[in-house]
Structure 1
């Protein structure tokens, strides 16, 4: 997700869940985004078991991580893999590069007993205004080449290409006047025509939280689904929540291009639980449960009554403590589960309340805290060092640990670093200012974490090295072909 922010389906498709004998969901209207920017990463096998336990039948990845795809093989879970924006320029000019990528990241994982890859996301929000158009010209040519590569692999009818777009791609004061940004009109016409020709949906990321976070005048109740005292009036249509208004704005924009019935998938939507005043468990539960109820009711919107989005991917499955906090401290707290696969709040996705991850391997129950017998007047540099590596976002204004006092802040920072270092005794020294304790220092809602062990660290390291080698090979190969 970046800062700023269907095939039309029947109610039977949205609501009914189909299971294979192992109990895995084959079809479901609600999926999740699985990001991996975490210093405390659960093994992919544990995450896949978590998905299966919660009957989550669709998952969206931000790359084609080999460890994740291997764990998903045989699960029956529908998968969307992603191509980073930085690779679009290469794929827009080199069919050999796109052939190799499809071979290494799609074909090799599919087939009998393989991963159920349904979508390839070509870039991630490549039209963001903050990118100043740097990826814009590469998207459609890259899609054409990747489509040809899928056809060569006999996968064009099985795997669909999509482009996750941020909601800032279209603008309007009211939904009925929705239109794509003027500079995107031509490329969006090409993109939507391509999607329509190949039977792919339009994927959009919608974030009412960001609208509330960025605009102090935004009506808070309009961000949720319980109705609003400040509804948006648009001719005969009345909008009581931001999601419906945003969705219909996109429909209007697509209609202006001649595609009023284009199927829509919500690629990302959610609410963070920490790191900002409006980011908390109560708000996240209210938003996500309201969203699920809205989608599963299949009530639709004023411009598409009785028809909801094709699929909705919640953002996100797990907290990612290594994400950039440039947009805000909340970026590391979007998960419906904490980093260790424990549900943050009761949430029903249509198949019962969330169930926690099983057999999570934790480090020993010990914490690093500030030594109460030492003078802490020289602790500033140690504090900064700890927080430069570890996640201290909960200590800031609006965070769940904001009120634990100076010594509490120091202890929290020390412990976060200590757990990041797998409880290496030396990582709690801080020139004698830290000490290890076996008493949980958590206070109220402020949780002092204990890290998880990464049983697949060596395997993941090797596979990621292999992945980098393949990428380097693609670039080298394409360069040689260009020179020739």
Structure 2
């Protein structure tokens, strides 16, 4: 996970963010036993030294009693459990893995200072006993450092398991902000300066390579838009890694240039419209619709057409997927407007050029879901 993988252990993740407060303690009694069982299995297989077990945790497992990192400690309701887990990880030479999302700070608090989420200058720096914080990542990271230090594990290694910025689904989720954050983060950690409490390289992974069009949107519509690449393998924005830019996928084949849209002759008062849109969006992806999103400026007909087309493309342009109670028809005129793109499905093994056969496929069939994009820090 760091610069020279030949000498670094491989990690096995047990669960993902199991102690989120929204889970209401559902996994408090099972996570640590699972962690120990997996580690025991690795040791029994003779892999205890090469493979380390860890558990990716959300940054909400710790908090600060003040506005400064030095007030950091583990959340009171899970404090003792966290100390047990940290001791276990430390005894086995495993890192503390944390997922840090400055975007969430901005999403949850409209008054959160926007510039503090990025790495290119914040006028109201925090001074924590002489340690200066100009971005929320450093402050969040070092709140964890303080939590570990207060509980006797100040030297424990930390891996940032997930970090990134979404490009749609919210007014602050767009390609401009994503490029600003991700490029800023790369430059920040590539400098080797680390954070005020932890100087040196940072091990971190971008989330994610590509969007997940079937991911739960309970936290917000932005959850389906963390990808650095579009569904067809084209970069969403410029990003330089180790002096090299992102490269688009080659030889991508698309289905026919046709879209499913709402008939202009249909009245919006038609009783079938709302039912059809609900059906399409529940089985496809409409998270690019809404206030502040890439398709937020569409009119009513545009919104309905986007929903119909999303369902149609996800079902490989099957003729039956554009039959919404005499409300829709196919068009060869691209209905995209500005940043709002009406997608065309890529050709996969389960699709054909005319969409007449094959099982429904997700827009992300070309890659494995939940892929974590590695940022190598030399």
- Same fold by TM-score, threshold 0.5 exceeded? yes
- Name the counterpart of 1:308: 201
The alignment status of 1:416 with 2:316, answered yes or no, reads no
Which of residues 334, 342, 349 is equivalent to 1:448? 342
Matches within 5 A, 1:143-292: 143-172=35-64, 173=66, 174-292=68-186
- Name the counterpart of 2:264: 372
Shift, 1:440, TM fit: 1.6
Which of residues 330, 355, 364 is equivalent to 2:247? 355
- Name the counterpart of 1:97: none
TM-score, structure 1 length as denominator? 0.69
What root-mean-square deviation, in Å, do the aligned CA atoms of Structure 1 and Structure 2 show? 2.2
1:254 alignment partner, SS class: helix
Give the distance between the partners of 1:286 and 1:27, measured in 2 at CA: 32
The alignment status of 1:118 with 2:17, answered yes or no, reads no
Give the distance between the partners of 2:6 and 2:213, measured in 1 at CA: 30
Give the distance between the partners of 1:188 and 1:375, measured in 2 at CA: 58
Shift, 1:331, TM fit: 0.9
Give the distance between the partners of 1:143 and 1:382, measured in 2 at CA: 45
Give the distance between the partners of 1:155 and 1:356, measured in 2 at CA: 37
TM-score, structure 2 length as denominator? 0.87
The alignment status of 1:318 with 2:210, answered yes or no, reads yes
Deviations 1:138-192 (A, max 9, x none): 2222222111211222222221101101111111021012100123222222211
Give the distance between the partners of 1:262 and 1:329, measured in 2 at CA: 35
Return 5+ residue gaps in structure 2 as ranges: 352-357, 362-378
- Name the counterpart of 1:406: 300
- Name the counterpart of 1:339: 231
Give the distance between the partners of 2:116 and 2:92, measured in 1 at CA: 36
The aligned length equals 350
Give the distance between the partners of 1:349 and 1:408, measured in 2 at CA: 37
Return 5+ residue gaps in structure 1 as ranges: 1-5, 7-12, 19-25, 29-77, 79-116, 462-484
The alignment status of 1:391 with 2:273, answered yes or no, reads no
Give the distance between the partners of 2:331 and 2:219, measured in 1 at CA: 35
Give the distance between the partners of 1:335 and 1:396, measured in 2 at CA: 19
